[in-house]
Amino acid sequence: MPFPDLAARLAQVRLLVFDVDGVLTDGTITISGARRWSVTDGFGFLLARRGGLKTALCSGRNDPEIEARAERLRIDALRLGRMDKGAGVTELAAELGVTPAETLFVGDDLFDLPGLAAAGVAAVPADARPELRRRADWVLSAPGGRGAAREVIEAVLRARGDWERVLAEFTGGGDD
């Protein structure tokens, strides 16, 4: 972790804001307009909700597939068709009643740089553009669309001390 105090900062996070293409997906969109969504990441959103975290999407694109996915994952708030990710992050934090310092943003490409700057914790998938990796507080081990969201969600739940409780709902106990 590039910042020694990252775990302490993750413990303050209450809202996770994700860019969509290249973060929740591998960045590809088929000619018919379909994306490939990760079931593993999708399940992470259920864990986030059970752990008391709020979630939001902020994308420059605005199409029904993203809305449908957000509804299925029961994401708390959306900013679609929003090119200004800095304003998007600030607005989402205000809408959901958290401070920017309590907000973590995940983005992968140049449009996301203002979002990284606006959030308390700036995270990027392993395969984000180099300009983003240089400015991130946290470069994830997983690439976009293949575990990046799940990695963020589990790490924040662990840092906040909520992971064991969430896990216990599946194991029937508190063991890891």
Position among 13, 19, 89, 105 found at the interface with Mg ion (CB under 5 A): 19
By CB under 5 A, tell whether 22 contacts Mg ion: yes
Helices then strands, counting H and E runs in the chain, come out as 8, 6
Which tokens in the block code for residue 79?
């900013």
Name the residue nearer to Mg ion (CB basis): 21 or 151.
21
Name the residue nearer to Mg ion (CB basis): 21 or 41.
21
Only one of the segments 13-21, 69-77, 121-129, 133-141 lies at the binding site for Mg ion (rule: CB under 5 A); that segment is 13-21
Residues 6+ apart with CB under 8 A from 62: 80, 81
By CB under 5 A, tell whether 102 contacts Mg ion: no
Q: How far apart are CA 34 and CA 49, in angstroms?
A: 26
By CB under 5 A, tell whether 154 contacts Mg ion: no
Q: How far apart are CA 59 and CA 18, in angstroms?
A: 8
Only one of the segments 35-43, 85-93, 107-115, 134-142 lies at the binding site for Mg ion (rule: CB under 5 A); that segment is 107-115
Name the residue nearer to Mg ion (CB basis): 123 or 167.
123
Per DSSP bridges, beta strands 15-18 and 103-106 are parallel
Q: How far apart are CA 156 and CA 10, in angstroms?
A: 5
- Chain position whose Cβ is nearest to Mg ion: 22
* 3-class secondary structure, 137: coil
* 3-class secondary structure, 76: coil
By CB under 5 A, tell whether 127 contacts Mg ion: no
Position among 26, 102, 108, 162 found at the interface with Mg ion (CB under 5 A): 108
Position among 26, 41, 76, 109 found at the interface with Mg ion (CB under 5 A): 109
Chain residues binding Mg ion by CB under 5 A are 19, 21-22, 108-109
